[in-house]
Structure 1
């Protein structure tokens, strides 16, 4: 069986930056084990698979995401990449795309004439938590605050501290949350915050740019800065920019995409 595949750099307007996601359009679902094997073979942070399916009474798609190790409940960059493929390769007449997912309905629209795509995602507020033993030691530097939602959110004083972190990935393998987000105030003009994201136990030691993490990052910084619009930079080696808005129970995450690869796979 031959299947189409696209590789898209998400949250960037430049190739080789942002977060690369593989996107595999399907007419019907493959066995879970086959999709997991494809994701492992791709060895990217996420591979997205989708099939046509009505969503809330509208024409849409069911969307699933796999890291090289596990299926995940929410992924931003691979959703952005999937929407880019549908808008640009499959159905250019659409003005919006509705995805049925494990995290509910996710909608993506074209953001005016900017060329950005904007996603409607659930908000995940973080509350103060007691860090589990070994977490701070594994990070190599103590944060100002430790908060938690799906992930740990560690807040540092400066962006330089966030950029300099060299976590012990083995030490993070056994944490009791999905991943660790680290964040600090922005250190460049126009940036409200910077972040990084680590999920070694899920097959992603450091994710280049993480949309789902900003479901937690955005409400935190919106409250702290007293404004809804947040421009965020994920300070990985590849780096990427997210244009965000806190909307209460939801967050708006927008960004650019750059296509890198188009071909087929054989399974």
Structure 2
């Protein structure tokens, strides 16, 4: 099985968010895909089946399958563009999170994702204890989202991951603040899925883009995720959709020596 590791939302290797990618002719068993994701121990491993510019796409974390992932979608589009269907300007992906498209624009890959406006949510003492700071505002969609005081508070945050795991609300945790050099900055944590910090999280920006568009009064923004690796996203609110673009860098190409397991039928 061909396997690629791509640094997404990155101008060079060792930046952005690494994702594993397998583009296949047929679906492996779910158990095998989960085993591969767990063995890789990256935040996400993507599996795609299809051709002719249209693919079915699934994402697995070390802790299980998820319904939306931005950086692994960008990484998959990069692999298809470079190694499977070179020269395609647009790719379409059928996913558990809906129909997603990726357009190649020069050296950028632009993702078209749903806009997921976060709703105000009541903060709790447990949330502040897990974060190590008292958030200015609290929101919830799939993930908990906390507005912090400033960029420095986001950058210097040292959350208690065991406490984050025990929070009753949210799959993941996003923290954000207005930026100095960039329009806004963020970090994202998913310890419930076995990923303490997601270096650059595209799905988090489905929340962040509409939130900051309303706050800043602008539709086009540049965002920076302040993880140790860091990554830049070129963002745009487009009605009920969000566009986020970034570059990608190939880290490795390998062969996985895995025994195939029988898979059930998948459309």
TM-score range with shorter-chain normalisation? over 0.9
Instruction: Quote the residue 2:5 is aligned against.
Output: 7
Over residues 163-202 of structure 1, what are the superposed CA-to-partner deviations in whole Å (9 max), with x where a residue is unaligned?
11100000011222111100001122xx100000011011
Over residues 131-185 of structure 1, what are the superposed CA-to-partner deviations in whole Å (9 max), with x where a residue is unaligned?
3451111100011100111111100121000111100000011222111100001
In the alignment, the residues of structure 2 paired with residue 133 and residue 184 of structure 1 have an alpha-carbon distance, to the nearest angstrom, of 20
Aligned: 1:97 with 2:108: no
Native 8 Å contact 2:53 2:88 kept in 1: no
Instruction: Quote the residue 2:189 is aligned against.
Output: 198
Instruction: Quote the residue 2:159 is aligned against.
Output: 167
In the alignment, the residues of structure 2 paired with residue 226 and residue 7 of structure 1 have an alpha-carbon distance, to the nearest angstrom, of 37
In the alignment, the residues of structure 2 paired with residue 132 and residue 143 of structure 1 have an alpha-carbon distance, to the nearest angstrom, of 10
Q: Aligned match of 2:211 in 212, 217, 220? A: 220
In the alignment, the residues of structure 1 paired with residue 230 and residue 94 of structure 2 have an alpha-carbon distance, to the nearest angstrom, of 28
**Partner SS state of residue 173, structure 1:** helix
Give the CA deviation at 1:230: 1.3
Instruction: Quote the residue 1:83 is aligned against.
Output: 77
Aligned: 1:121 with 2:113: yes
Q: Aligned match of 2:137 in 130, 133, 145? A: 145
In the alignment, the residues of structure 2 paired with residue 59 and residue 6 of structure 1 have an alpha-carbon distance, to the nearest angstrom, of 19
CA-based RMSD? 1.1
Instruction: Quote the residue 2:178 is aligned against.
Output: 185
Structure 1 segments, 4+ long, off by >2 Å, are none
Instruction: Quote the residue 2:265 is aligned against.
Output: none
Give the CA deviation at 1:236: 0.2
Question: Unpaired runs of 5+ in structure 1?
Answer: none
In the alignment, the residues of structure 1 paired with residue 179 and residue 53 of structure 2 have an alpha-carbon distance, to the nearest angstrom, of 40
**Partner SS state of residue 205, structure 1:** strand
TM-score normalized with structure 2 length: 0.94
